[in-house]
């Protein structure tokens, strides 16, 4: 495949210093191993037409376990803030992320749930209260023996503490992410321009697992689209007429998820960045992924004849992304 200004051998650079302002600007078409907060300071100002990335979601993946909730917020805030100088006027930052977090919060009351439809023991709270009133000196073990159930059942009925994960677990607070991103983007000088909803076919589609509460099974993610003030070129010829009709002008995208996360535990399908790249950049322009992972965004950029930059903090994934880019240069866009 012919593509202008694209190196045929992507280079892997490793940076160890915390601040690299004295170093030269980063070269295009390369994967860099290091902290995105350091590397973004070395991107040529006003050079990136589109930055598309999916950050750590703060859901317990191996590469984010060391982060506290505050660490996670600080990371994303700083990365978003550092994009202002890198993105060209009229350019875009697109962040793919699940819209809600669920994290332990010791200060939150535990949700009490009397899940009557899934009780294996049909002893009711009223029956336990009657037995307790009739036998005021009985502890819960004695009440359990009297009622023919476990002491845990007695405790749950008395306290209404049927809590997912166990009665001694800290309750998990649900937090909407979109508001945080909008706040950080606005402070950086970037403005929320639009959003897309990516609907995935759930990986559990053929399994018997279902939610045991009123909470839904999460099977979609958001793309939050931020704009840097400046002239934005609108060119509808980037997409065919049918593509504009099917997804270009649609707010909901139906794209199958990755079937098996073998090389990386949080991959998205190449069709996702491919659509974003085709919508928000032109051939030959520079596409950045600040959390490149296995290299999907870079591979999509190569496929769509864009230049690319990829940042990855973990050496094994940076090497994986480098190899994927080399395959993409040969026309393999898996």
107: in domain: no
In this structure, how many other beta carbons lie within 10 angstroms of the beta carbon of residue 99?
17
Contact 174, 111 (CB under 8 A): no
CA distances from 32 to 11, 195, 270 (A): 8, 28, 20
The residue segments making up the domain with residue 155 are 116-159
Contact 284, 4 (CB under 8 A): yes
Angle between helices 315-329 and 296-303 (to 10 degrees): 20
Q: What is the pLDDT of residue 163?
A: 45
Residues 6+ apart with CB under 8 A from 113: 160, 162, 163, 164, 213
Same domain, 256 and 213: yes
How many folded domains does the chain comprise?
A: 2
5: in domain: no
274: in domain: yes
Q: What is the pLDDT of residue 104?
A: 73
Same domain, 93 and 236: yes
Same domain, 36 and 121: no
Alpha helices for the chain (secondary structure H): 36-39, 69-86, 125-134, 140-147, 151-159, 178-188, 241-243, 271-280, 296-303, 315-329
Same domain, 48 and 134: no
87: in domain: yes
Contact 190, 86 (CB under 8 A): no
44: in domain: yes
93: in domain: yes
Q: What is the pLDDT of residue 200?
A: 86
166: in domain: no
Cα-trace Rg, the chain? 25
Same domain, 201 and 263: yes
Same domain, 22 and 96: yes
Per DSSP, the three-state class of 179 is: helix
Same domain, 129 and 179: no
Same domain, 154 and 17: no
Query: What proportions of the chain, in percent to the nearest 5, are helix, strand and coil?
Result: 35, 20, 45
Same domain, 148 and 233: no
Give the residues of the chain that fall short of pLDDT 50.
Answer: 1-11, 13-21, 163-165, 206-209
Same domain, 81 and 216: yes
298: in domain: yes
- At 182, which CATH number? 3.40.50.150
Same domain, 140 and 197: no
Same domain, 221 and 96: yes
Q: What phi and psi, each to the nearest 5 degrees, are found at residue 30? A: -150, 155
CA angle 237, 239, 243 (to 5 degrees): 140
């Amino acid at each position: 495949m012919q593509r202008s200004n694209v190196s045929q051998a992507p280079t892997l650079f490793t940076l160890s210093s915390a601040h690299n302002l004295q170093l030269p600007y980063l070269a295009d078409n390369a994967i860099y191993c290091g902290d995105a907060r350091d590397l973004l300071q070395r991107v040529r100002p006003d050079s990136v037409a589109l930055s598309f990335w999916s950050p750590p979601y703060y859901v317990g993946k191996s590469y984010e376990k060391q982060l506290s909730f505050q660490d996670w917020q600080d990371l994303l805030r700083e990365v978003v803030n550092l994009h202002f100088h890198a993105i060209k006027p009229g350019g875009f930052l697109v962040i793919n992320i699940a819209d809600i977090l669920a994290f332990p919060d010791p200060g939150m009351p535990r949700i009490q749930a009397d899940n009557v439809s899934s009780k294996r023991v049909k002893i009711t709270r009223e029956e336990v209260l009657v037995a307790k009133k009739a036998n005021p000196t009985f502890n819960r073990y004695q009440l359990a023996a009297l009622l023919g159930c476990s002491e845990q059942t007695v405790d749950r009925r008395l306290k209404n503490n049927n809590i997912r994960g166990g009665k001694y677990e800290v309750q998990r607070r649900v937090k909407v992410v979109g508001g945080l991103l909008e706040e950080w983007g606005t402070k950086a000088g970037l403005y929320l321009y639009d959003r897309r909803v990516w609907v995935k076919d759930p990986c559990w589609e053929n399994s018997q697992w279902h939610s045991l509460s009123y909470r839904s099974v999460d099977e979609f993610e958001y793309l939050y689209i931020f704009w840097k003030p400046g002239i934005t070129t609108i060119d509808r010829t980037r997409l065919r007429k049918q593509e504009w009709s099917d997804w270009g002008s649609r707010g909901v995208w139906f794209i199958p998820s990755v079937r098996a996360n073998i090389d990386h535990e949080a991959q998205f399908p190449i069709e996702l960045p491919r659509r974003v790249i085709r919508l928000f950049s032109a051939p030959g322009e520079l596409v950045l992924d600040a959390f490149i992972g296995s290299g999907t965004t870079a591979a999509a950029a190569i496929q769509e004849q864009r230049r690319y930059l990829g940042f990855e903090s973990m050496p094994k994934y940076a090497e994986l992304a480098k190899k994927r880019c080399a395959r993409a240069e040969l026309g393999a866009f898996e």
